[in-house]
Amino acid sequence: MAQKIVVIGAGVIGASAAYHLAQAGCDVTVVDAGMGRATDASFGWINASFFADDAHFALRAAGIAAYQNMSQQIDIPVQTPGSLVWEDEGDAFDTQLARLHAVGATVSELDRAAFQKLEPHVAHAPDRIFHFADECVADSGALAVGVLAAACGYGAQVISGEQVVEIVEVAGKIIGVQTTLGWLAADQVLIAAGTGTENLLAAFDVALPMLTRPGVMLRTRPIAPLIQHVLASPTQEVRQLPNGALLAPAAAGHQGDTSDTISGTPAGLADVAVDRLRTMLPGHDITWDRIWLANRPMPQDGLPAVGAVGPTGLYAATMHSGITLAALMGDLICTEMTQGITNRSASLLGPYRPRRFGAT
């Protein structure tokens, strides 16, 4: 008999896990409350240039590589434009370059002239730039939708607009979930509920403290093709979508953004970001037409929380940089839920177990 697995959450993490689990022959049901996904508000930058330490770099680099595997199986909206990063300047640039070399990053250093050849429309070209040629971008919302459709191709079923209100265990073992509209039996439950993960685990006295990390993303009206790469300057990150629109976080350095409130109105923040974009790309009529707000799902130490937790049959996965990590995480979550911990999963996920917050 196929294992019955309920996946709570149809963001990019739940979708990828559902895909791998269904492909592995599990009987998968995805339940999503439709409460607003971080996935839809994402910048969609798949990168390893932002990392906390060696293990985090290795995880993110494996995350990029996992998209190559996934793209051989499914048609996914992921491209590899590479990124040009000059958030660090002066001594900080050299320090970061040494760190990147130490972890084995695929990076080259460009000077101003080389940068201008790659991005001739960018004003105020920096003196020194990191070029990460293998970094990717995703249309995050479409990625989750496409991967979930592929899961359905392997027999998964999706229930949208229904919230899981309780995960039920008997004698220390998961037996199913109670939703707003009924009961779903399960041998195992995966909580991939983004910012909702902490609440669902609290019922089992499992602590997975999450930070409040709101983010604002803006999109401009389409303009002529101007930039080829993901650009990350000290004040602004931006990339251009296939239709010509610019996509940009309102906060500079948004991956390391530590604000727990949005100060000012989202529209005001978007106006300020648009001013920075006009400075970066002068002579173009740049105006925003859409803003997204969402809380980044971020465990208290900023790192992913992934692993079996609480009663037998319960597994949780929540993280920031979920777009970077989704293809890999789906694979690893599937491995651990169907086969248990392997050498590969232990080496990649070892530092990120939820038990570091005191959970059992």
Ligand X SMILES: Cc1cc2nc3c(=O)[nH]c(=O)nc-3n(C[C@H](O)[C@H](O)[C@H](O)COP(=O)(O)OP(=O)(O)OC[C@H]3O[C@@H](n4cnc5c(N)ncnc54)[C@H](O)[C@@H]3O)c2cc1C
CB of 91 to ligand X, least distance (A): 27
Contacting range for ligand X; rule: CB under 6 A; set: 71-79, 101-109, 191-199, 352-360? 191-199
In what helix (H) or strand (E) does residue 356 lie, and over which residues does it extend?
none
Distance from the first to the final alpha carbon of the chain: 29
Q: At what angle do helices 54-73 and 91-103 cross, to 10 degrees?
A: 60
Contacting ligand X (CB under 6 A), which of 299, 307, 313, 322?
322
Q: Which is nearer to ligand X, 162 or 271 (CB)?
A: 162
Q: Are 192 and 332 in contact (CB under 8 A)?
A: no
Q: Which is nearer to ligand X, 62 or 217 (CB)?
A: 217
Q: Are 316 and 354 in contact (CB under 8 A)?
A: yes
Contacting range for ligand X; rule: CB under 6 A; set: 121-129, 145-153, 278-286, 321-329? 321-329
Q: Which is nearer to ligand X, 40 or 128 (CB)?
A: 40
Q: Should residue 18 be labelled a site residue for ligand X when binding is judged by CB under 6 A?
A: no
Side-chain half-sphere CA neighbours of 160 within 13 A:
8
DSSP 222: P
d(C-alpha 201, C-alpha 212), whole Å: 17
d(C-alpha 221, C-alpha 256), whole Å: 27
Q: Are 32 and 160 in contact (CB under 8 A)?
A: yes
Q: Could you please report the per-residue DSSP string of 93-116?
A: HHHHHHHHHHHT---EEEEHHHHH
Q: Should residue 164 be labelled a site residue for ligand X when binding is judged by CB under 6 A?
A: yes
Name residues contacting ligand X, limited to 248-277 (CB under 6 A): 249, 254
Q: Should residue 146 be labelled a site residue for ligand X when binding is judged by CB under 6 A?
A: no
Q: Should residue 240 be labelled a site residue for ligand X when binding is judged by CB under 6 A?
A: no
CB of 221 to ligand X, least distance (A): 20
Q: Which is nearer to ligand X, 125 or 142 (CB)?
A: 142
Token pair, residue 96, equals: 């970061």
CB of 296 to ligand X, least distance (A): 4
For strands 136-138 and 45-46, give the pairing.
Answer: antiparallel
CB of 254 to ligand X, least distance (A): 6
Q: Should residue 192 be labelled a site residue for ligand X when binding is judged by CB under 6 A?
A: yes
- Tokens 């990150």 label which residue? 237
d(C-alpha 208, C-alpha 197), whole Å: 8
Contacting range for ligand X; rule: CB under 6 A; set: 86-94, 121-129, 188-196, 282-290? 188-196
Q: Which is nearer to ligand X, 194 or 307 (CB)?
A: 194
Q: Should residue 83 be labelled a site residue for ligand X when binding is judged by CB under 6 A?
A: no
Contacting ligand X (CB under 6 A), which of 19, 43, 67, 288?
43
Contacting range for ligand X; rule: CB under 6 A; set: 27-35, 84-92, 269-277, 341-349? 27-35
Closest by CA to 10, choosing from 150, 136, 174, 137, is: 150
Distance of CA 117 to the CA centre of its chain: 31
Question: What phi and psi values does residue 21 have, to the nearest 5 degrees?
Answer: -65, -40
Q: Should residue 308 be labelled a site residue for ligand X when binding is judged by CB under 6 A?
A: no
Q: Which is nearer to ligand X, 249 or 354 (CB)?
A: 249
Contacting ligand X (CB under 6 A), which of 22, 29, 45, 208?
45
Name residues contacting ligand X, limited to 205-234 (CB under 6 A): 215, 217
By CB under 6 A, the count of residues binding ligand X is: 41
Token pair, residue 308, equals: 């079996």
Q: Which residues bind ligand X (CB under 6 A)?
A: 8-14, 31-35, 37-39, 41-45, 163-164, 192-194, 196, 200, 215, 217, 249, 254, 294, 296-297, 318-324
